[in-house]
């Protein structure tokens, strides 16, 4: 498989260096174990919002560092959680006396490394709170798995928690708002094919020509079933039926509809899927009042998409609309 690689061992470092150089008005690479912070970190008198996880999901999380969203991002190797010392260094560089909120996707590696980092930071007297994002409805039975995964909803949690921190909320309030968003957001994804790991050059899984992976995770982990290829509206209907039925979302709800590309799907197909999703939700009496369409949490070059619905209230809408200036999301300033 052809890929743009010089040396697999330096793949993530080279990509991060390029990102930091391209966006040096917004971010810088911090000293010590690898992490990325706002160029003006630590920002006085605000709670720091910090997230991280394996690389390969760009623009998550590095593309969301900047005013109104994240104060720091901690990238690991491709699809591999960062280490506790990286998280610790990022929080120390980004946080002041008001402390830091850690936003963690519910994957075993991320949870274990951020948990260890939170213990180390607490021992150093840094006020830290953690919110686990677990919005993936494809994982049905948490008793026999590591629990629901954190996927598309993570982007929305980072934006809204970032806005709360930006307006001056304290750590407990920012954490409570992030937890409330997590409770009201649901997602599910589908892959038409695999991603290819830069370390091995091997596809993460193999599908037959007419097969799709329904309920795929952002590392290519399977969810519900291998299904037969279908029309876009049928696939969107399957995803939304699972999502809407889970919370559940009901007639009269106002929602944010987020159609996300996994890295290898053209924008035209994402907008086509978004169009189908609007029709599905209109039939259910669910009002789409905010939208996001594009590649915001990816899985390398995986062809596929995920759909995320967030139930909106007045405060959540206001925080979503608040100004943000990052490499990947920018409005209002």
Contacting positions for another protein (CB under 8 A)? 33, 54, 76-85, 107-109, 112-113, 115-116, 139, 144-146, 149, 197, 199-200, 202, 204, 217, 219-223
Q: Considering the complex, state which of residue 4 and residue 144 has its C-beta at the smaller distance from another protein.
A: 144
Instruction: Please report, for residues 93, 94, 154, the alpha-carbon distance to residue 89 in angstroms, rounded to integers and kept in the order given.
Output: 6, 9, 22
Active site residue 61: no
Report the interhelical angle of 267-283 vs 232-246 (nearest 10°): 50
Catalytic residue among 35, 57, 61, 325: 57
Which entry of 23, 35, 61, 219 is annotated as an active-site residue? 219
| Closer of 96 and 222 to another protein (Cβ) | 222
Identify which of residues 222 and 294 has a Cβ nearer to another protein in the complex.
Answer: 222
* Pairing verdict, β 211-214 and 225-228: antiparallel
CA distances from 254 to 86, 112, 251, 274, 292 (A): 39, 35, 9, 16, 15
Rg, Å, the chain Cα set: 19
Tell me the closest approach of the beta carbon of residue 138 to another protein, in angstroms: 8
23 is annotated as an active-site residue: no
Q: How far is the CB of 199 from another protein (least distance, A)?
A: 5
How do beta strands 48-55 and 36-38 pair? unpaired
293 neighbors 306 (Cβ within 8 angstroms): no
Give the nearer residue to another protein in terms of CB position, either 108 or 289. Answer: 108
Smallest separation, CB 319 to another protein (Å): 31
Nearer to another protein, 84 or 261 (CB): 84
Cα 24 to Cα 155: distance, rounded to the nearest angstrom:
22
Least Å distance between CB 260 and another protein?
Answer: 19
Minimum distance, C-beta of residue 156 to another protein, in the bound complex (Å):
22
Closest by Cα among 71, 82, 85 to 104:
82
- The structure tokens 């599905």 sit at 280
Contact 210, 219 (CB under 8 A): no
What dihedral do alpha carbons 147, 150, 151, 156 form, nearest 10°?
140
Taking the C-alpha atoms of residue 59 and residue 164, their distance in angstroms, rounded to an integer, is 21
Q: How far is the CB of 19 from another protein (least distance, A)?
A: 19
Nearer to another protein, 196 or 255 (CB): 196
Using CA atoms, how far residue 268 sits from 154, 193, 208, 238, 258, in Å, is 24, 18, 24, 20, 15
Residue by residue, DSSP assigns 138-175 as: T---GGGSS-PPP-THHHHHHHHHHHHHHTT--HHHHH
The neighbour count for residue 32, using CB atoms within 10 Å, is 12
Write the CB contacts of 232 (distance below 8 Å, at least 6 apart in sequence).
269, 272, 273, 276
- Least spacing, CB of residue 270 vs another protein, in Å: 24
Instruction: Please list the active-site residues.
Output: 57, 219
């Amino acid at each position: 498989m052809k890929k743009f690689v010089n040396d697999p061992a330096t793949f993530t470092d080279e990509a991060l260096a390029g990102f930091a150089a391209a966006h040096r008005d917004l971010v810088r690479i911090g000293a010590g174990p690898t992490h990325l912070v706002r160029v003006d970190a630590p920002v006085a008198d605000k709670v720091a919002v910090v997230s991280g996880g394996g690389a390969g999901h760009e623009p998550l999380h590095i593309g969301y560092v900047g005013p109104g969203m994240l104060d720091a991002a901690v990238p690991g190797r491709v699809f591999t959680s960062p280490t506790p010392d990286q998280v610790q260094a990022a929080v120390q560089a980004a946080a002041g006396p008001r402390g830091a909120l850690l936003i963690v996707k519910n994957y075993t590696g991320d949870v274990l490394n951020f948990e260890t980092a939170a213990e180390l930071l607490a021992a150093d007297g840094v006020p830290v709170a953690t919110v686990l994002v677990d919005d993936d409805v494809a994982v049905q039975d948490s008793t026999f798995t590591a629990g629901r995964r954190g996927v598309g909803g993570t982007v929305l949690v980072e934006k809204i928690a970032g806005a709360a921190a930006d307006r001056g909320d304290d750590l407990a309030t920012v954490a409570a708002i992030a937890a409330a968003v997590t409770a009201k957001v649901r997602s599910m994804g589908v892959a038409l094919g695999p991603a290819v790991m830069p370390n091995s050059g091997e596809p993460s899984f193999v599908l037959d020509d007419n097969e799709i992976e329904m309920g795929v995770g952002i590392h290519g982990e399977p969810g519900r079933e291998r299904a037969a290829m279908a029309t876009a509206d049928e696939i969107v209907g399957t995803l939304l039926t699972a999502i809407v039925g889970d919370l559940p979302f009901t007639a009269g709800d106002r929602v944010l509809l987020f159609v996300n590309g996994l890295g290898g799907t053209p924008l035209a197909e994402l907008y086509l899927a978004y169009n189908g999703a609007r029709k599905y939700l209109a039939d259910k009496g669910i009002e789409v009042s905010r939208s996001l369409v594009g590649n915001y949490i990816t899985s390398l070059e995986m062809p596929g998409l995920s759909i995320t619905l967030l139930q909106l209230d007045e405060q959540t809408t206001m925080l979503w609309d608040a100004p943000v200036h990052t490499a990947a999301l920018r409005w209002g300033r």
